[in-house]
Amino acid sequence: MYFAGIVVQSVKYMKKDLSTNQDFIMSFQLGITPIQDMHGTFDNSVNVSEEELAQLLHTHLTKKMLLPVLEYGEPQSIEISNRKHNLLVHLR
């Protein structure tokens, strides 16, 4: 069996600075590859928990969104919207 999707294993918040910017590390698995880590940041003025962010990323990320970061090291900005939140997440 082959699975080509993205599975977000966890999100861990890093130390929060004085602004509302929140740095995080996302652990994820792309298809059947080993678990990888990716850094990101977003404006957390709406107080999204680590679990909520992990669920939002798991629901909205696609392989196509992550490939520029993984293959070329190009940072990506991804807008994630649902009924409760509208976030602009920067992945690097």
State residue 90's pLDDT score: 97
The pair of three-digit structure tokens given for residue 51, joined into one six-digit string: 């679990």
Euclidean distance between the first and final Cα of the chain, in Å?
30
pLDDT by residue for the chain (92 residues), tens only, comes to 445 588 999 999 998 666 789 999 999 998 888 999 999 999 998 889 999 999 999 999 998 999 999 999 999 999 998 788 889 999 99
Tally Cβ neighbours within 10 Å of residue 57: 23
The pLDDT score that the predictor gives to residue 18 is 67
Integer-rounded Cα Rg, in Å, for the chain is 13
Q: State the pLDDT at residue 79.
A: 94
Query: CA geometry: angle at 57 spanning 55 and 61, to 5°?
Result: 135
In the Cβ-directed half-sphere of 81, how many Cα atoms lie within 13 Å?
Answer: 1
Question: Per the structure block, which two tokens stand in for 81?
Answer: 């919207």
pTM: 0.87
Q: Which residue has the tokens 């690097």?
A: 92
Domain boundaries of the chain, sorted by first residue? 6-91
